[in-house]
């Protein structure tokens, strides 16, 4: 049985995790981009899915307090699934953006409001401290993150947060944050068809700094926003056929091949897709296959992507 361990491990500070994790957004049935992903799965089924992920070697989860719908909260599902497993699974959450009780997006939190967001994550997850908190830069107009990241660094010193990360940032934001406190991960939109992080050198910068790069939309060719020629890329299909794999597995494997510091957090509510995603950890692409996938380069996206 293929497990997440097949991709190797990376350390988020002092927390060693398998390079294939799980993104919890889909558990709520609520699309973060204004699109509905359908009704949330049954609560018991969601917990069972997370337990299955743990059995497959997944030991880190990406979540946020703003991952909720009228019926589900991703954090509270994770809390339930982790009963008796605290310490075995690393949970990374995000702060900065927020949503009101009706689901409408709120303005980016002020630095003095971040403690409230951290405490809400603590409450929902049933923790006395958070393993990793990513400051999610909300929109291109936020040029400096120093004041916000400094507020989180204070909460880290107070013991509410173990490690800090960044999300939706540019290289200069990483440099700005490192002058304030250690950064263990950077989470940006990135995948075979959406490579802006390559254009800015962010993936390589993280590798040089020993920082995990954690892409969301790694299976980006399957996004409905992607042009049809990308969603049905002949290059991906040919590599998938050669390995008896799915297109999604090839896209995940390509992402993991970008460097030992690159992690993946694919999300799904389907147990079969979960097993497929984890199975990508064992998929080894040849140099020729990587060259085929890399050229001609796919169109990149300048959008901010998923929350």
Catalytic amino acids?
67
Rounded to the nearest 5 degrees, what angle is found at the Cα of 191, between the Cα atoms of 22 and 21? Answer: 15
**Could you tell me if residue 259 is left (phi over 0), alpha (psi between -120 and 50 degrees) or otherwise beta?**
left
Instruction: Round to whole Å and give the CA distance between 92 and 165.
Output: 9
Given a contact cutoff of 8 angstroms between Cβ atoms, the answer to whether 285 and 258 are in contact is no
Token duo for residue 117: 């967001």
Q: Helix, strand, coil: what percent of the chain each, to 5? A: 40, 15, 45
Query: What torsion do the CA atoms of 233, 235, 186, 49 make, to the nearest 10 degrees?
Result: 70
């Amino acid at each position: 049985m293929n497990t997440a361990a097949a991709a190797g491990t990376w350390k988020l500070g002092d927390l060693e995790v398998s390079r294939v994790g799980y993104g919890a957004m889909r558990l709520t049935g609520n699309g973060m981009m204004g699109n509905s992903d359908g009704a949330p799965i049954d609560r018991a089924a969601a917990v069972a899915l997370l337990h299955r992920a743990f059995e497959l070697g997944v030991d880190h989860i990406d979540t946020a307090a703003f991952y909720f719908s009228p019926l589900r909260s991703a954090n509270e599902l994770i809390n339930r699934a982790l009963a008796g497993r605290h310490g075995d699974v690393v949970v990374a959450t995000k702060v900065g953006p927020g949503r009101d009780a009706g689901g409408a997006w709120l303005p980016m939190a002020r630095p003095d409001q971040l403690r409230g967001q951290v405490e809400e994550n603590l409450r929902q997850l049933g923790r006395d401290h958070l393993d990793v908190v990513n400051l999610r830069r909300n929109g291109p107009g936020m040029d400096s993150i120093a004041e916000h990241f400094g507020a989180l660094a204070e909460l880290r010193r107070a013991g509410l947060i173990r490690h800090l990360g960044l999300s939706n940032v540019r290289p200069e934001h990483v440099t700005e944050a490192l002058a304030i406190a250690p950064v263990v991960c950077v989470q940006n939109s990135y995948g075979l068809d959406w490579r802006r992080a390559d254009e800015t050198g962010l993936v390589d910068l993280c590798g040089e700094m020993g920082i995990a790069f954690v892409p969301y939309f790694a299976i980006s060719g399957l996004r409905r926003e992607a042009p049809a020629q990308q969603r049905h890329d002949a290059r991906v299909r040919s590599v998938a056929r050669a390995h008896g794999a799915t297109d999604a597995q090839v896209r995940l494997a390509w992402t993991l091949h970008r460097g030992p510091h690159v992690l993946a957090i694919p999300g799904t509510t389907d147990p079969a897709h979960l097993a497929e995603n984890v199975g990508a950890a064992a998929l080894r692409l040849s140099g020729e296959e990587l060259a085929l996938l890399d050229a001609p380069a796919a169109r990149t996206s300048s959008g901010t992507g998923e929350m």
